[in-house]
Each structure stands twice: as structure tokens, then as C-alpha cells.
Amino acid sequence: MFRVSTNMPNDDIQYRLRRKEEEISAIQAKIANQSRIKELRDDPLAASHAVRYASYINRLERFEKNTLEAREHYEFVDGYMRQANDIMQRVRELAVQGANGIYSREDTAKMGVEVNELLKELSAIANATGKDGKYLFSGDKAFTIPFRIVEGTVDGLGYEAPIRVEYRGAGAERRVEISDQTYSRLDIGGGEAFWAEKMIVSSTIDASDYAVPAESSIFIDGVEIPVNTGDNVRNIVAKINDSAAPVKAYIDPETRAIVVEGTEPHFIRMEDAVETAAGGAAGSVLRDLGLIRANSEQGAPNWAPGARVSGGSLFDVVIGLRDAMLNGDQLYIGGQGLGGVDQAMANLQTRIADIGSRAERVENAWGRINTQIPNVTESLSREAGLDLASASVEFNMMDMAHKAALQTAARIIPPTLMDFLR
């Protein structure tokens, strides 16, 4: 048997009023968030779709930001490379002019002085930084100056000038994700953009009896090439040629030493694995073959002392041309000098085209992403969006009903002084 208390009407009215207040609060939250789904139980299927759509929109916005940053980076790089190409065009004009037999040694020396100044400007361009302070042509060593300028005395000049330019950067390993599992190579290394000739690295060690002592890997231009225990030099040559590295290898028939030659003008990077796949000791294949120094001594370049290296950079070409002009060597100017300039310009223009194609790709990706974002946003709105007009009408009706309930409750249970004194 239940006991009837005078507090029951009051408690029941308060319970009902609180329920209505919770409903009003819920509709207010939906209006504020512009979403009809406050909790999963509101619509489980639509909520699951909405979560996937929201996640996809976040990824698309990240890709959009990546493409914009990549496009700006390519614009910086393209601008500097075009400036370098313009300078090289002027160097070529001077080379053609200097090769003409009507000019005296004093005349060609004056041309050499101008080429020397153009060389300094080329060095400044190659060591340029972007808006974030990172070097544009250092590859993934973004805070390492790519080209080290070595100055010294030059015959025909009364002051110190560049006599050697060394590449200290790394390969272009940084990539940017422009869509799901799709990447664009962000950088172009100075060893690619500012090179002139195909590089050849020749060992002087007879490798006819060589065998790999332990399973390891070698890296050429950032491409890993596994080698197995007992592999001889022919096996190593075959694996290098089958890899994606832009080089070809062969055995010198006279010295029986291994030779690595670039298939395109660029600085060849080689190193042994720091450790084997099983976590063992560092490999020493390239060092044993006489191509590089030990890993602990590696830098850029890291060639073995006895290795023969040929194939110079754009700077080597310009320095050689300058020296020939200062010395009045018209035969060199019109032959090797002019030919080297043409090679350097051809490679530079190829790299400019490469950067342009990457920029066009990210531009297309940006356009596609900006088409997808509104479409996915529309799908999200369809699943979780709130009809503000209907929600406003519902809220006003609930608010009016709540106010009427409060007025009725105040008349049914009027508070008295005794209620406050209990």
C-alpha cells in the first residue's frame, strides 16, 4: 500500500519540468552546433556516416594546405633556376664572343672578369633560402649550405676569387602528400640542378677476387641495393644496373675495378649501410671496392683517396671558362668551355621543366581537392545537418509550453512562507 504525500504533486511537476528543460537544452545545443545529431543514439547510421565524412574533410583540408605549400616552394625554386639560366645564357654569349679570333688577350681577360662576377651570382642563387629560412637546393639537409665556395688566387685577377665549389647537400628525399598515399617530390638537390656532365667514379682496386663478407646494403643516390654474403663484383654490378638509381656500373677491363657512371648529369651519392637488416655491424662493400671512405669519415664528397672522379658541376664549367678567358686561351673557350656551358644549360633547362611539371601536378591536385571539399561537406550536411527553420519553430513551441507549465505549476502549488521555513 502506497502512502500518499503532499510532496508528490510538487515532485512530479518538478520532474516533468526538468525533462522539458533537458529537451529545450538539447534543441539549443543542436541549433548552436547546426547539427541534428547530438548523441549517437539520435541517429546511429547517420552519425557513423558523418564521422567518416568529417574525417575525410579534415584530410582534404590537410592535402589542400600541402599543395599550397608545395606550389609556393616550386615557385621559389623555379624563379631562382630561371635566374641561373639567364645568367648562363649571358655566360654563353661571352663564350661565343671570346671564341672569336678578332679579340686580343686583354679583351678576353675583361670578359673573364665579367664571367667571374656572374659566377659569384650563380653561387648566391645556388645557396638561396626560401621564406622559411631553409636552403632550397640542399635536398633533405635543409639547414646545410649546399655549395661550399673555396676562394684563392687566380691568375689575371688582382683579388681572391672562387677556385672551387663543392657540393655539401644531400639528395632530394623530402616528399609532400597531396592526396591519399600520393606524394610529390618536394626538393631538387643542387647536385641535380647545378650539374653539367655525367659523373664517373672509378675505383683503382682490383675487385676480381672480391666477395661480400656479410649480408648488407649499399645506397646509391638514396636507392637501397641489398647485397648478399658471397656476392662477387659481377653480382654487385648487376644489382646496381637493375636498381632504380640513375647510374650504370661496369668493370674496367684493364684494372678490373668497378666503375659507376651517371646516366644523367648529377652528383652521385654513395654510402654503405649503417647497419644490416638484422641490426649487425655496418656494411663496407663500397669502401672495400675502393669507391668511398669509411662511414665515419663520410661527408660530401666522400670518395676514397684512390678513386678517380670526373664529370663536373656547372660551377666547374664556369670556373674553367673564366680561367681560359683570363689566359686568352681561345681554343679552350670555343671548344671545351662552350661545350660545357651548353651541357650545363641543357641540364638546367631539363630540371626547370621537371619543377614545372611538379608544380602543374600539385596545381591539378589543388583544383581537384577544392572540388571534393564542397561535395563531401554537402554529404556531411545531408547526414547531420540541421533544418534551422524547423528547429527554431520546435524550440519556440517547446519554450512556450515550458513557460505555460511554469505558470500553471505556480498556481497549483503556490509557495508560502512556511515552505521556506521547513
CATH of the domain at 330: 1.20.1330.10
Per residue in 328-338, pLDDT tens? 898 999 899 99
300 and 347 in a single domain? The answer is no
Per residue in 106-137, pLDDT tens? 889 999 999 999 999 999 999 999 888 888 89
* Alpha carbon distance 414, 13 (integer Å): 13
pLDDT at residue 277 is higher than 70: no
ω into 9 cis (within 30 of 0): no
E strands, 31-146, in order: none
What's the whole-number mean pLDDT along residues 164-186?
83
303 and 233 in a single domain? The answer is yes
274 and 340 in a single domain? The answer is no
Sorting pLDDT into bands at 50, 70 and 90, what band is 380?
low
For residue 110, being part of any structural domain is answered with yes
Per residue in 369-378, pLDDT tens? 888 888 877 7
Burial label, 143 (beta-carbon count in 10 A; 0-12, 13-18, 19+):
exposed
User: At 411, which helix (H) or strand (E)?
Assistant: helix 388-412
pLDDT of res. 373: 84
Sorting pLDDT into bands at 50, 70 and 90, what band is 397?
confident
Sign of CA dihedral 95, 96, 99, 104: negative
pLDDT of res. 346: 95
328 and 243 in a single domain? The answer is no
What's the whole-number mean pLDDT along residues 351-367?
93
Residue 206 belongs to domain spanning: 200-308
Q: DSSP letter at 46?
A: H
How much of the chain, in percent, has pLDDT values that exceed 70?
Answer: 74
E strands, 27-159, in order: 147-153
* Alpha carbon distance 126, 232 (integer Å): 40
E strands, 108-203, in order: 147-153, 160-167, 175-179, 182-185, 200-202
For residue 215, being part of any structural domain is answered with yes
**Residue that wins the pLDDT comparison between 126 and 297:** 126
Of 275, 308, 341, the domain-final residue: 308
pLDDT of res. 82: 96
207 and 172 in a single domain? The answer is no
Grid coordinates given for 88 = 648562363
For residue 385, being part of any structural domain is answered with no
pLDDT of res. 350: 94
**Residue that wins the pLDDT comparison between 405 and 215:** 215
pLDDT of res. 386: 58
263 and 365 in a single domain? The answer is no
Q: How many domains does the chain have?
A: 2
Find out whether 125 and 117 touch, Cβ atoms under 8 Å: no
Per residue in 254-269, pLDDT tens? 999 999 999 999 999 8
135 and 219 in a single domain? The answer is no
pLDDT of res. 291: 93
pLDDT of res. 199: 93
* Alpha carbon distance 51, 57 (integer Å): 10
**Residue that wins the pLDDT comparison between 397 and 119:** 119
- Residues recorded for the chain: 422
For residue 228, being part of any structural domain is answered with yes
pLDDT at residue 415 is higher than 80: no
* Alpha carbon distance 417, 407 (integer Å): 19
pLDDT at residue 307 is higher than 60: yes
What's the whole-number mean pLDDT along residues 328-352?
93
Contacts of 189 (CB under 8 A, 6+ apart): 137, 138, 139, 146, 169, 170, 171, 172, 266, 267
Sign of CA dihedral 275, 281, 286, 287: positive
pLDDT at residue 417 is higher than 70: no
Of 292, 308, 324, the domain-final residue: 308
Per residue in 6-28, pLDDT tens? 566 666 666 666 766 666 666 66
Find out whether 329 and 335 touch, Cβ atoms under 8 Å: no
Sorting pLDDT into bands at 50, 70 and 90, what band is 174?
confident
In the chain, the N- to C-terminal Cα span, in Å, equals 27
pLDDT at residue 298 is higher than 50: no
